[in-house]
Amino acid sequence: SRPIVAIVGRPNVGKSTLFNKLIGQRLSIVEDTPGVTRDRIFGECEWKNRKFSLVDTGGIEPESKDIILSQMRTQAQIAIDSADCIIFVTDVRTGMVATDLNIAQMLQRSNVPVIVCVNKCDTLGDPPADFYEFYNLGLGDPIQVSSVHGHGTGDLLDAVLEHL
């Protein structure tokens, strides 16, 4: 069967926007309300003649005791455990926050290869200054992406293919 690539990260960083851009269809719900993607959503993706299944997940809030958020976290953990590669989406506009570090620790425990996607880098060219702090996640070289415009998605997919 096809390899599985899971998109994870905290709410509102642009996971569903990225998912839609990568599969080229608006299958996943994009909302300004954090945490609107409550269930996992699957799509098929092909890049450079390699096919894989892409999984969108609800946002991970490691500390939250809210019932919906804890269910979303459980679903994300299931997606992580079944993935061959993870795209960890972060947001250059908010910069790196404590939740990002918590998720990074969760991902390091999973032993699944992780690509750090720094989303909302909407300007072409050199990354914004806040891009570089994401090296501190300790998960390798981050990749600058604008999911809205599609910038950087080729570099992101190239990095994913190295792990499939």
Q: Which residues are annotated as a binding site for GTP?
A: 9-16, 56-60, 119-122
Closest Cα to residue 139, out of 92, 98, 106? Answer: 106
21-80 residues near Mg ion, rule: CB under 5 A: 37
- CA distance linking residue 137 with residue 118, whole number of Å: 11
Angstrom CA distances, 110 to 30, 31, 59, 82, stand at 27, 28, 17, 10
Q: Is 11 in the site for ligand GDP (CB under 6 A)?
A: yes
Q: Is 12 in the site for ligand GDP (CB under 6 A)?
A: yes
Amino acid 91 reads D
Structure tokens at 100: 């990002």
Contact 68, 75 (CB under 8 A): no
| Three-state secondary structure string covering 115-146 | EEEEECCCCCCCCCHHHHHHHHHCCCCCEECE
Q: Is 31 in the site for ligand GDP (CB under 6 A)?
A: yes
Nearer to Mg ion, 45 or 161 (CB): 45
97-156 residues near ligand GDP, rule: CB under 6 A: 119-120, 122, 146-148
Nearer to Mg ion, 16 or 144 (CB): 16
Compute the least distance from the CB of residue 135 to Mg ion, in Å: 25
Nearer to ligand GDP, 8 or 160 (CB): 8
Nearer to ligand GDP, 50 or 94 (CB): 94
Q: Is 16 in the site for ligand GDP (CB under 6 A)?
A: yes
Binding site for ligand GDP (CB under 6 A): 9, 11-17, 30-32, 36-37, 59, 119-120, 122, 146-148
